[in-house]
């Protein structure tokens, strides 16, 4: 790989403020951001789950949201804390509050949206959650629902929306079958590299790594577009994608292909990043297979949690090794795994550094942690695998 000084341009970009708001209050900052971006405000419900696996939608929105300005997170168990500190040890001024009443007090006005930020295995609302969502509707808040239960199809919710003139967005609800795509092999028309971020388990950080990678590439002047494949990525604001686990299997590969084609045709990107779901080796989830078949990635980045001993929600199912998952992905997808990224749950900084050294030696591919290490490592991982992107970067710098 050509020796290019990546650190300087990324550092400069990251240091450039988005808004001249360094010396004003948090409330004024929020108001200025709403006016500047003209984006709707939202509170996120994540009772007893923020920072945990089932709170992944709320976790993701706190880290990144292009579509909504997140005002607060509801979780009585962590009320009073800063959500950024809870997740990543760094304050982000998004508070965690005890309940809906506290969220409204903090907001000082009724937010535009109430986002259900939990992704339970059941995919359904509990009775208590049902009552809370109806209360939010009664207050005049629109609802963003990422569950498998489609609230627009529930007569009580539908009637409440009419009475209070609000809407429910059922993120996972697919289009009518007549409008769904079957695989056509038009994916071969996509001439830019396609990189899928897959994992060794569900809820392991694939979307977070894909989001960081997309932003880092764009920061360097390489036009990257993210294609979302789950409800959280779509709620965050991914312009292209589909909640694939709610699509009938006959259409999954076709819908995946169509989302990538849309991104390519509309954006003319240098590279397309595809968010993974579940794990290709996991018997409980089939979505990964459709992602690989439909997007036909030219390269894969694999996300792994070294300290996770068993699959999430399956205590008797041991985690696969990165080597075994890489072998499966490369055979199944006729592709190449170009790097490994670490989920540092239950790990110290020394643990992460040792894991990086270990896996680089064992696997012979670049390894990094997208959250705690410089994003330069992610960019270099991609440029090493796709020299044409490296040449574009060098031309841009010059």
Q: Is the pLDDT of residue 263 over 80?
A: yes
Per residue in 271-286, pLDDT (tens digit) is 999 999 999 999 998 9
Give the residue among 195, 217, 198, 214 at the shortest CA–CA distance from 206: 198
| Residue 232 three-state SS | helix
Tell me what the mean pLDDT of segment 224-253 comes to: 97
- pLDDT category of residue 37 using cuts at 50, 70 and 90: low
Tell me what the mean pLDDT of segment 224-247 comes to: 96
Domain boundary among 119, 149, 170: 170
Q: Do both 139 and 278 map to the same domain?
A: no
Rounded-to-integer distance, Cα 314 and Cα 66, Å: 33
Q: What is the pLDDT of residue 394?
A: 74
- pLDDT category of residue 234 using cuts at 50, 70 and 90: very high
Of 138 and 10, the one with more pLDDT: 138
Of 183 and 36, the one with more pLDDT: 183
- pLDDT category of residue 390 using cuts at 50, 70 and 90: confident
Q: Do both 219 and 319 map to the same domain?
A: yes
* DSSP-derived secondary structure letter, 192: S
Alpha helices in the chain (DSSP H): 7-15, 26-37, 56-63, 83-88, 100-107, 127-138, 155-164, 206-219, 231-236, 249-267, 287-295, 322-333, 349-363, 376-385, 387-397
Report helix, strand and coil shares of the chain as percent, to nearest 5: 45, 15, 40
Per residue in 62-115, pLDDT (tens digit) is 999 999 999 999 999 999 999 999 999 999 999 999 999 999 999 989 999 999
Tell me the residue range of the domain where 351 lies.
178-397
Tell me what the mean pLDDT of segment 338-347 comes to: 97
Residue 33 lies in a domain: no
| Structural domain count, the chain | 2
Residue 15 lies in a domain: no
Q: Is the pLDDT of residue 3 over 50?
A: no
Q: Is the pLDDT of residue 10 over 90?
A: no
Of 27 and 219, the one with more pLDDT: 219
Rounded-to-integer distance, Cα 54 and Cα 142, Å: 22
Q: Is the pLDDT of residue 1 over 50?
A: no
Q: Do both 189 and 166 map to the same domain?
A: no
Q: Do both 392 and 319 map to the same domain?
A: yes
Q: What is the pTM of this model?
A: 0.88
Q: Do both 203 and 344 map to the same domain?
A: yes
Tell me what the mean pLDDT of segment 331-339 comes to: 98
Q: What is the pLDDT of residue 25?
A: 37
Rounded-to-integer distance, Cα 252 and Cα 373, Å: 34
Tell me what the mean pLDDT of segment 325-349 comes to: 97
Of 27 and 52, the one with more pLDDT: 52
Residue 97 lies in a domain: yes
Domain boundary among 113, 148, 170: 170
Residue 205 lies in a domain: yes
Spatial strand order of the sheet with 113-116 comes to 96-97, 69-74, 41-45, 113-116, 142-145, 168-170
Q: Do both 322 and 358 map to the same domain?
A: yes
Tell me what the mean pLDDT of segment 121-131 comes to: 89
Tell me what the mean pLDDT of segment 291-300 comes to: 98
- pLDDT category of residue 123 using cuts at 50, 70 and 90: confident
Q: Do both 196 and 326 map to the same domain?
A: yes
Domain boundary among 118, 146, 170: 170
Residue 368 lies in a domain: yes
Q: Is the pLDDT of residue 243 over 60?
A: yes
- pLDDT category of residue 35 using cuts at 50, 70 and 90: low
- pLDDT category of residue 233 using cuts at 50, 70 and 90: very high
Per residue in 151-170, pLDDT (tens digit) is 999 999 999 999 999 999 99
Residues whose CB is less than 8 angstroms from the CB of residue 363 and which lie 6 or more positions away in sequence, other chains included:
322, 323, 326, 340
Q: Is the pLDDT of residue 21 over 50?
A: no
Per residue in 356-389, pLDDT (tens digit) is 999 999 999 999 999 999 999 999 999 999 999 9
| Residue 132 three-state SS | helix
| Cα–Cα distances in angstroms (integers) from residue 162 to residues 111, 128, 137, in the given order | 18, 22, 10
């Amino acid at each position: 790989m050509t020796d290019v000084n990546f650190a300087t341009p990324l550092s400069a970009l990251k240091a450039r403020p988005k808004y001249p708001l360094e010396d004003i209050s948090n409330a004024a900052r929020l108001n200025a951001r709403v006016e500047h971006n003209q984006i709707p405000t939202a509170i996120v419900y994540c009772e007893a789950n923020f920072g945990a696996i089932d709170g992944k939608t709320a976790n993701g929105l706190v880290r990144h949201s292009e579509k909504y300005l997140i005002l607060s997170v509801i979780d009585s168990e962590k009320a009073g804390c800063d959500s950024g500190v809870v997740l990543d040890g760094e304050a982000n001024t998004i508070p965690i509050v005890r309940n809906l009443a506290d969220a409204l007090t903090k907001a000082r006005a009724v937010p535009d949206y109430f986002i259900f930020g939990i992704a339970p295995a059941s995919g359904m609302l509990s009775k208590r959650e049902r009552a809370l969502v109806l209360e939010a509707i009664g207050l005049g808040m629109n609802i963003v629902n990422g569950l498998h239960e489609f609230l627009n199809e529930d007569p009580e919710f539908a009637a409440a929306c009419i009475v209070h003139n609000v809407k429910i967005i059922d993120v996972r609800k697919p289009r009518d079958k007549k409008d769904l795509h079957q695989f056509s092999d038009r994916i071969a028309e996509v001439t830019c590299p396609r990189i899928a971020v897959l994992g060794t388990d569900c809820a392991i950080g694939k979307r977070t790594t894909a989001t960081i990678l997309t932003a880092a590439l764009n920061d360097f002047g390489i036009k990257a577009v993210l294609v979302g494949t789950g409800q959280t990525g779509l709620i965050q604001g991914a312009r292209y994608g589909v909640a694939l686990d709610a699509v009938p299997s006959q259409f999954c590969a076709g819908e995946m292909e169509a989302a990538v084609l849309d991104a390519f045709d509309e954006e003319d990107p240098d590279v397309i990043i595809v968010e993974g779901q579940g794990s290709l080796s996991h018997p409980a989830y089939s979505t990964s297979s459709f992602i690989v078949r439909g997007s036909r990635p030219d390269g894969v980045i694999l996300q792994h949690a070294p300290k996770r001993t068993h699959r999430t929600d399956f205590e008797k199912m041991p985690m696969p090794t990165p080597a075994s998952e890489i072998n499966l992905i490369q055979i199944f997808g006729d592709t190449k795994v170009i790097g490994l990224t670490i989920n540092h749950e239950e790990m110290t900084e020394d643990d992460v550094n040792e894991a990086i050294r270990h896996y680089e030696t064992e696997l012979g591919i670049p390894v990094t942690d997208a959250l705690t290490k410089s994003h330069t490592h992610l960019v270099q991982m991609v440029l090493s695998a796709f020299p044409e992107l490296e040449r574009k970067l060098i031309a841009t710098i010059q």
